[in-house]
A and B are shown apart, each in its own frame.
Chain A
Amino acid sequence: MRPLKLELSAFGPYASRQEIDFRRFGAHGLFLIAGDTGAGKTTLFDAITYALYGDTSGGKRRPKTLRSDFALPETPTYVELTFETAGRIHTIRRSPEYLRPSKRGGGMVAKSAEVELRLDDGRIITREREVAETIERLLGVRYDQFTQIIMIAQGEFMRFLRAGSDERGEIFRRVFDTGMFERFQQQLQTMRSTENAEQTRMFEQIRSLCSGIRIPQQHPMRQEFEKELSDLPTPASAALFLDFLRRLNLADGEARNILENRHSLAAARAESAKKALEEFQRLSAKRLQLLSLQDKLGKLHEQGERVAADAEILKAAERAATVLQAQTLARRGMEAFARAQKAAEAAAALSLQKTEALQEAHRIADEQKQQAGAEDALREEVRTLEASLEDYAALENIQKKLEACEVRLAELTETRQSTEAARQALQAKSAQQQAELEALAGLEEKLENNRLNRESSERDRQEVARLLQSAQSLGDALAQAEAAARPLVDSIDVCERRKAEYAACEAAFLRAQEGWIASRLTEGQPCPVCGSLDHPHPSPLKADAPDEQALKQSKARAEQAQAARDEQLRQSERLKARIEEAWHTLSPPLAARGLLSAQTCALPVPERSAITGIKTELLDALQQSEAALKQLQSEQEQLAGRVTHREKLQSDLAAAAEEIAQHTQALAQLDTRQQAEKLDAAAIRAQRDAIAAKLPYPDSQQARQLLQKRRDALAALQREQAAALEQLRAAERESAAADSALEQNRQALETAQAEQDSSAQAYAEALKAAGFSCEQDFEAALLPPEKREALRSSLEEYRAALERTDALIQQLRGELAGSWAVSNENPPDEQALAQTAGQTAESLRTLEEELSELKIRLSVNTELAAKLGPLLERFDAQNARAAELDELCAVVAGTASGLSRVSFERYIQSAFFRRVIDAANERFRRMSSGAFEFRYAAEAARKNEKSGLELQVLDMYTGKLREVHTLSGGESFVASLSLALGLSDVIQRMAGGVRLDAMFIDEGFGALDPVYLDRAMEILGELARGDRLVGVISHVAELRERIGVRVIVKKDPRGGSRAELDLG
């Protein structure tokens, strides 16, 4: 498909009619559509798609919204595309549904969607469905294939690249016509299900057949039957059944033979008895017949006389018939003569009339000859008038030129006024802005000041924060110290107590020792302590003296308590040291701020309450500091704002100045043109006046009217003359005719007279010859022919009956000669005969019944066996076939387990797919400098999908395969472009394939870096040189430089857009 000319009106952003003639591109195959964003570039491609298929690219813009909002109500909306396929040129025109002004009355009326396809052979198709079918047939692709292969729209190019096997399969089915393989698969499956149904049905048939077996209760084989085969058979047991059946038939056959013998004997006996009875009956019948015939003969003889009288009447009637003809002739002759007389009289009258008319016509013709003079005068007048018409035409032309001139003059004046106004406005505004600018001086200084202030404020704030923190920690420490005071005291107490306890305990222990030693003292033995042998007062043993253990415990406790006390003391010391240090650090700055009095400062350790007070004051100071900072911030912002404003004013002023200069220039130009126009107008006016002076009428209207009147008069005159001549000729002709008619009639009259005389004579002679004396006798004897016939035939009948009866009687007498019927002696006994016959017949019948029952049974069963045999065979064969058919179906559909899920159709398609990939790779490799190429993948990415048309990319950076969706935007674009071109290559090389002479690509180039862009441009250039039309929409500047042929789409300031060709 190659577009030749695109015409659109009030479509999309185009308010009026736009035309793009692709033929003007000449030999250039590559063209670019460029222009402002939203101006309507994609709309041009949309228009092509819409014209062909009634839907737009990308499916994003619904057909109902296609009418341009900028269009005037009277402008119709339509798209018309003239295109060529396979050497033939067709045109299609389509318009959507929209509202247009009503032709009668006001308001809008809905105009429905229309389409018209004009084929090259002259046919015009307007029904939507028929158009769609024809377009599909001509182009070879449906709407969704068109948008994948030919019209690659913004953002759509990735669909084919990323499609799964199923979607690709559908595209290929249509494009490579593999539908027959899918139908093959469907047919196989239909076949399988039909055959399965058939199997089931066949088995049902077998079962019902089997149920028809006949075997009566008393049959010798019945028992066997009931034991083995009373249930209806299964497929397996059907063979057994058949076997039994065969045996049954054999037995029954033998029984039948015996019975048949007995039957033939009985039949012979019955036959002879019957014959005797019949003979007797025959003879009696004949005898009765003879008697009746003799009776009939007698009756016939009685009728003889009447018959003879009838014969006489008949003879007379025959004679009268001969005369009849002559009478008829005579009558006719008389009538003819009367008619001839009348005709002669009429002819005479007519002749007279015509002669008179002729005389009248002569008279009129003479009158006409006298008018010739007037005619010439009229002709002269007409000629003069025609000449003057030319002058009038010239006058009208000049008038028109003058008017045009004046219109232009008015336009110029208007333009001048508007330009002047604009300029003045601009000047005023500039002055205003200048004033503002001056007011904004000295901003820089203020900014600097502000900055310094802010810095110092910040520093202050930070210091306050620090102090606050220190004060906080100091306060905490003090609190801690206070808290620790009490436990310290306690621990000291405890320690003392414990020590006292220990001392007491020790003393007790020692004393106890004394007791213990004392207890060991024996009189006369030396005391271990002092050595005395006399022990007057030994210490008593203390009962509740503590032992070593207790002493140890007490010591331990005392030591523990001491340790604890020491620890507490140490902690207390440490804390105190910290507090002192902190205070030391903190107090000077606080004093500097005036928050501390000199005395407090001199204290080594401060009061807690004092610290709290300080903290509060510090918080205040911090807040103040922060507030000050905020204010300074906002001041800075304000100043910055003013700076921006100042800059804007400056730039505005510059721009305005430029514009003013432009306007001034324009004004000068307008003035010159206005002058020129005025001069032109004056000259034309003078010309016009000169011509008008020469003519009698102000305009040509009156002259024309007069001319027409004169012409009409002349014509009328000529017509009258012609009519008179005609009338004269006619009258002459008619008169001559009437005269000749008169002569003919006179002759006819004479002939009629002669006829009449001769026929009357003939009649009289005939009467005499037949023997009638007068006419009345003749009329009386006349009988109509039917009555004569009837008489004749009744006479004949009588004679014949007489003869017949006589003959029959003779015959019968001959037959019965010699039998008892004639001689009437000894008739046999009828009753005895009848009885014998009856008995023998009865016994025969019984035998026959038996025999027939047996035969029926045998035949039914034999038939059954005959049917069952082949049926069973077929059934078995069919089973085997079904299994194979199942396998075939599964393989063709790709559902056989354990195999790759590729259907037969998919397999065929994959061969095409491989070719497409090869073709695509040629370009893909080049565009990516060898970095990428496509690879065919047999397995699907998603396991449960039918596969066979999968695609992967071999990445030369890593040497590994990648999924297509991991490519970047620009890489995907290049890959899709290669695929689309590869696909169209393959399609075109197939025999009878569609010819894709054009291709349209909407954006996508912006994603490419300069290297890729270069390569893509090369590829497109090649395509274009290969006699394809390639259209590209892009905003990339590089493309604009390199593609010489462009369609530039601009937004019109008055609303709507325009498309123009730029052939470079």
Chain B
Amino acid sequence: MTFLHLSDLHLGKRLGEYELYEEQRAVLWEIVELCGARRPDAVLIAGDVYDKPVPTIEAVRLFDDFLGALCDLNIPVLIISGNHDSGERLGFASGLIRKSGVYIAGAFEGAPRCVTLQDDFGPVCFWLLPFLRPATVRAAFSALGLDTEGITDYTSAIRAAIGRATPDPAVRNVLVAHQFVTCRGHSPERCDSETLNAGGLDDVDLSVFDPYDYVALGHLHGPQRIGRDTARYAGSPLPYSVSEQNHRKSVCLVKMEQKGRTEIELVGLHPLRGVRTVRGSLEELCAPDFPGREPRGDYVLAQLRDEGAMQDPLARLRAVYPRLLGIELLRSGSGAAEFNAAALESARLDPMNALEEFFSGQLGRPMSRTQREIANSVFERLREEQT
């Protein structure tokens, strides 16, 4: 049995102020063509299908077309909701849609859903677990009258959730989940476009997923393994931030033979436009022979080396790079210089010095001796008054 593992489509997401529908449509089509060529037995989408709980119309259309295309190829699609999706909305009419081979686990109902597919070696159980917070698990368990004690953090919550439907160790089990999974305290590689729960600790330890032969994860946007080869983040199909400019975007094609034999192939994707940074002075970046100018259609972050004032920097850069994300100023040790609290305090501790500087700065000559004496005497008096 072969299946395709992808995640974090984030349909409808904007990069800066730019909409990415074109790029998203292109890469979804690339995936559809890949399916047409390699004919996998299933496609797993591990969460964050949309970028917002209420997605835009164009995003919905996009996903509609994508699913339609996969259905035309008779490939079952297994989908879970991520932290960006609204589980309830994504799971609309899931009961009806499953007849067409699209299985959606939107809202959590107390236990992971199981979808069983057959191949030459027997059944393969796909366990679909939507994105969970401890509060979600607690709420679902309370509604079912189950005990919620012991659900204190993410690890214990996930363990309780999957404990409700233990996989049969005799068959092959695949889990599809969307969480922040770490392995023995080591964190995976992260990038700027992921929104982890603001201000929270949401680690789930990998050991919770030991019973599963393959763990298809979503949530992080860099394709990577965690802990073992058979536990993977598929990563986002497109670069969604400047920090992803060097990622090699891909989808995982997983081939499972009998239990214990799993082969993994990363099939590269070719985004329509890249994301990159260019660095130099304003003049350099706008010069027609600047080597980093092409490809011009890319999303570009400009890092400017200029020290002094610049003429219409944004306007000019926009003219050269139509999809400019923004500018950063690289200044050598100027305004962002090391904060010297001592220097500021010194004014108060040695006011005479500060006064000399101020005086000579204003009049262009130093104070006379008489003036210095007067100032000293007043400072003395003030010091005495304070003590």
Which of chain A's residues have a CB closer than 8 A to the CB of B351? 180-181, 184
CB-CB contacts below 8 Å: A1010-1064 with B: 1010-1011, 1017, 1020-1021, 1024-1025, 1038, 1041-1045, 1063-1064
Taking the closest CB of chain A, its distance from the CB of B48, in whole angstroms, is 13
B197 close to A931 (CB less than 8 A)? no
Indicate which residue in A27, A929, A1020 contacts B326 across the interface (CB closer than 8 Å).
A929
B199 close to A30 (CB less than 8 A)? yes
B354 close to A191 (CB less than 8 A)? no
A990 close to B382 (CB less than 8 A)? no
Indicate which residue in B327, B371, B381, B386 contacts A187 across the interface (CB closer than 8 Å).
B381
Chain A 900-926 against B: per-residue CB contact (8 Å), 1 yes, 0 no?
101010011001100101110110010
Which of chain B's residues have a CB closer than 8 A to the CB of A900? 362
Which of chain A's residues have a CB closer than 8 A to the CB of B354? 904, 907-908
Any B CB within 8 A of the CB of A706: no
A899 close to B362 (CB less than 8 A)? yes
**A918 and B337 alpha carbons, distance in the complex (Å):** 8
Report the 7 A-B pairs with minimum CB-CB distance, sorted nearest first: A929-B326, A930-B327, A1024-B199, A30-B199, A28-B199, A1021-B198, A957-B314
A1044 close to B335 (CB less than 8 A)? no
**A904 and B367 alpha carbons, distance in the complex (Å):** 14
Chain A 177-201 against B: per-residue CB contact (8 Å), 1 yes, 0 no?
1101101100110010000000000
A1044 close to B314 (CB less than 8 A)? no
**A959 and B368 alpha carbons, distance in the complex (Å):** 44
CB-CB contacts below 8 Å: A202-257 with B: none
Taking the closest CB of chain B, its distance from the CB of A646, in whole angstroms, is 31
Which of chain B's residues have a CB closer than 8 A to the CB of A912? 344
> Which among A135-143, A475-483, A512-520, A882-890 touches the partner chain?
A882-890
Any A CB within 8 A of the CB of B347: yes
Listed by A's residue number, 25 A-B pairs whose Cβ atoms lie within 8 Å are: A180-B348, A184-B382, A188-B375, A880-B370, A885-B371, A891-B359, A902-B362, A904-B355, A911-B343, A921-B335, A929-B325, A930-B302, A930-B327, A956-B313, A958-B311, A959-B310, A959-B311, A990-B345, A1009-B17, A1010-B14, A1021-B199, A1025-B199, A1042-B195, A1043-B199, A1064-B197
**A957 and B314 alpha carbons, distance in the complex (Å):** 5
Taking the closest CB of chain B, its distance from the CB of A522, in whole angstroms, is 110
**A183 and B363 alpha carbons, distance in the complex (Å):** 22
**A891 and B363 alpha carbons, distance in the complex (Å):** 8
Chain A residue, CB-CB nearest to B317: A956
Which of chain A's residues have a CB closer than 8 A to the CB of B200? 27-28, 1044, 1064
Indicate which residue in A181, A184, A888 contacts B367 across the interface (CB closer than 8 Å).
A888
A1044 close to B339 (CB less than 8 A)? no
Any B CB within 8 A of the CB of A989: yes
Residues of B in contact with A, size category: 35 or more
Any A CB within 8 A of the CB of B341: yes
**A193 and B199 alpha carbons, distance in the complex (Å):** 60
Which of chain B's residues have a CB closer than 8 A to the CB of A1043? 198-199
Any A CB within 8 A of the CB of B149: no
A925 close to B341 (CB less than 8 A)? no
Any B CB within 8 A of the CB of A881: yes
Indicate which residue in B53, B336, B347, B363 contacts A899 across the interface (CB closer than 8 Å).
B363
Any A CB within 8 A of the CB of B312: yes
Any A CB within 8 A of the CB of B96: no
B315 close to A881 (CB less than 8 A)? no
Which of chain B's residues have a CB closer than 8 A to the CB of A929? 16, 325-327
Which of chain A's residues have a CB closer than 8 A to the CB of B374? 188, 191, 881, 884-885, 888
A991 close to B378 (CB less than 8 A)? no
**A178 and B309 alpha carbons, distance in the complex (Å):** 33
Any A CB within 8 A of the CB of B328: yes
Chain B 174-214 against A: per-residue CB contact (8 Å), 1 yes, 0 no?
00000000000000000000010111110000000000000
Indicate which residue in B198, B311, B368, B382 contacts A884 across the interface (CB closer than 8 Å).
B368
Any B CB within 8 A of the CB of A896: yes
**A3 and B326 alpha carbons, distance in the complex (Å):** 38
B370 close to A881 (CB less than 8 A)? yes
B345 close to A991 (CB less than 8 A)? yes
**A884 and B201 alpha carbons, distance in the complex (Å):** 66
**A805 and B248 alpha carbons, distance in the complex (Å):** 146
Which of A's residues lie within 8 Å of B, judged by CB? Answer: 27-30, 176-178, 180-181, 183-184, 187-188, 191, 880-881, 884-885, 887-888, 891-892, 896, 899-900, 902, 904, 907-908, 911-912, 915, 917-919, 921-922, 925, 929-931, 933, 954, 956-959, 986, 989-991, 1009-1011, 1017, 1020-1021, 1024-1025, 1038, 1041-1045, 1063-1064
Which of chain A's residues have a CB closer than 8 A to the CB of B362? 891, 896, 899-900, 902
CB-CB contacts below 8 Å: B303-352 with A: 309-315, 325-329, 335-337, 339, 341, 343-345, 347-348, 351
A1042 close to B198 (CB less than 8 A)? yes
Any A CB within 8 A of the CB of B92: no
Indicate which residue in A188, A891, A1045 contacts B378 across the interface (CB closer than 8 Å).
A188
**A986 and B344 alpha carbons, distance in the complex (Å):** 10
Indicate which residue in A191, A904, A1011, A1044 contacts B358 across the interface (CB closer than 8 Å).
A904
Any A CB within 8 A of the CB of B121: no
**A530 and B343 alpha carbons, distance in the complex (Å):** 138
Taking A188-B378, A921-B335, A929-B327 as given, write out 8 further A-B residue pairs in contact, using a Cβ cutoff of 8 Å, ordered by the A residue number: A180-B386, A191-B374, A881-B374, A891-B362, A954-B309, A991-B341, A1011-B16, A1011-B17
CB-CB contacts below 8 Å: B287-314 with A: 302, 309-314
Any A CB within 8 A of the CB of B34: no
Secondary structure dominating the interface of A: helix
Which of chain A's residues have a CB closer than 8 A to the CB of B371? 884-885, 887-888
Taking the closest CB of chain A, its distance from the CB of B294, in whole angstroms, is 22
Any A CB within 8 A of the CB of B270: no
Taking the closest CB of chain B, its distance from the CB of A897, in whole angstroms, is 12
**A1011 and B16 alpha carbons, distance in the complex (Å):** 6
Chain B residue, CB-CB nearest to A985: B339
**A899 and B363 alpha carbons, distance in the complex (Å):** 8
**A631 and B325 alpha carbons, distance in the complex (Å):** 62
**A1025 and B363 alpha carbons, distance in the complex (Å):** 48
Which of chain A's residues have a CB closer than 8 A to the CB of B302? 930
**A454 and B17 alpha carbons, distance in the complex (Å):** 51
A1064 close to B133 (CB less than 8 A)? yes
Chain B residue, CB-CB nearest to A894: B362
Taking the closest CB of chain A, its distance from the CB of B222, in whole angstroms, is 19
Which of chain B's residues have a CB closer than 8 A to the CB of A902? 362
A989 close to B378 (CB less than 8 A)? no
B328 close to A925 (CB less than 8 A)? yes
Any A CB within 8 A of the CB of B379: yes
Indicate which residue in A191, A925, A958 contacts B315 across the interface (CB closer than 8 Å).
A958
**A289 and B23 alpha carbons, distance in the complex (Å):** 149
Known interface pairs A180-B348, A184-B378, A187-B382; A918-B335 also in contact (CB < 8 Å): yes
Chain A residue, CB-CB nearest to B135: A1064
A1017 close to B198 (CB less than 8 A)? yes
Known interface pairs A989-B339, A1011-B14; A1041-B370 also in contact (CB < 8 Å): no
Known interface pairs A184-B378, A888-B374; A30-B344 also in contact (CB < 8 Å): no
**A28 and B328 alpha carbons, distance in the complex (Å):** 30
Taking the closest CB of chain A, its distance from the CB of B50, in whole angstroms, is 12
Which of chain A's residues have a CB closer than 8 A to the CB of B314? 931, 956-957
Which of chain B's residues have a CB closer than 8 A to the CB of A1025? 199
Taking the closest CB of chain B, its distance from the CB of A191, in whole angstroms, is 7
**A891 and B245 alpha carbons, distance in the complex (Å):** 56
Taking the closest CB of chain B, its distance from the CB of A930, in whole angstroms, is 4
**A958 and B318 alpha carbons, distance in the complex (Å):** 12
**A264 and B326 alpha carbons, distance in the complex (Å):** 112
Chain A residue, CB-CB nearest to B309: A959
**A921 and B348 alpha carbons, distance in the complex (Å):** 26
Chain A residue, CB-CB nearest to B196: A1021
**A181 and B348 alpha carbons, distance in the complex (Å):** 9
Indicate which residue in A884, A908, A1009 contacts B347 across the interface (CB closer than 8 Å).
A908
Known interface pairs A177-B348, A908-B347, A1063-B135; A1044-B198 also in contact (CB < 8 Å): yes
Indicate which residue in A907, A933, A959, A989 contacts B341 across the interface (CB closer than 8 Å).
A989
Which of chain A's residues have a CB closer than 8 A to the CB of B339? 915, 918-919, 986, 989
